[in-house]
Amino acid sequence: MKWLVWALFASASVASATPPVQSVSPYAVVGDAIEKSLTGQAGDPSRGAELIQQRHKSLCVLCHSGPFPDPHLQGTLAPDLTGIGERLSAGQLRLRIVDMKRLKPDSIMPTYYGIVTNGKDTRIAEGWRDKPVLTAEEIEDLVAYLRTLRP
Ligand code: HEC
């Protein structure tokens, strides 16, 4: 099952337009959270709501379900995100999107804000190994949106 997910990830990445080259700014992890905004500003929840549904860009709904349109197209490989804004703080959400593997090294969830320094990691499509999957702004938009998901 794992290889299938990564195959999906790789092909979805290749299918999308080549993003501009980005850099990863340093961030501080405290406990299980990144408390400070990666951009120094709050994200835009409406942009985050759009991004989370973009199957070929954010990929979130390949694995996650939640209160998003098209429930029949949502994945079942990961926890449902309904009510996640109540369970996790902005800082906790931020670290999970930035680098879930820091909390769970064998997680299938992609590291969205990091650079794969191990060139042998062939699970990431070649053109994507030296740049983050999402920009700092996009991650902040997702955090802002997920915080609105409360029961
Ligand atoms: C390849 C599958 C996959 C993709 C794509 C994915 N995730 Fe995840 N995600 C997981 C899994 C699996 C977990 C549960 C932790 C674990 O077992 O690794 C998780 C956990 C989470 C959690 C914590 C949930 C909780 O209940 O504690 C959040 C928040 C989250 N993901 C958000 C996102 C967002 C936002 C995106 C898109 C930017 C995304 N995920 C993309 C697989 C994925």
Q: Tell which wins on pLDDT, 92 or 18.
A: 92
Inter-residue contact 53 to 68 (CB < 8 Å): yes
At how many degrees (to 10) do helices 136-147 and 90-99 cross? 140
| CA-closest residue to ligand 1 atom 28 | 96
Residue 10 predicted with pLDDT over 60: no
CA of 59 to the centre of ligand 1 (A): 10
Ligand 1 environment, Cβ below 6 A: 5, 52, 58-60, 62-64, 77-79, 84, 93, 96-97, 100, 104, 107-110, 112, 142, 146
Mean pLDDT lowest for which of 29-33, 74-78, 79-83, 110-114?
Answer: 110-114
Q: For the chain, which domains are there?
A: 2-147 (1.10.760.10)
| Phi, psi dihedral angles at 142 (to 5 degrees) | -65, -45
Nearest alpha-carbon partner for 29 in 96, 118, 127? 96
Alpha-carbon distance of 68 to 115, in angstroms, equals 29
Closest residue CA from atom 3 of ligand 1 = 109
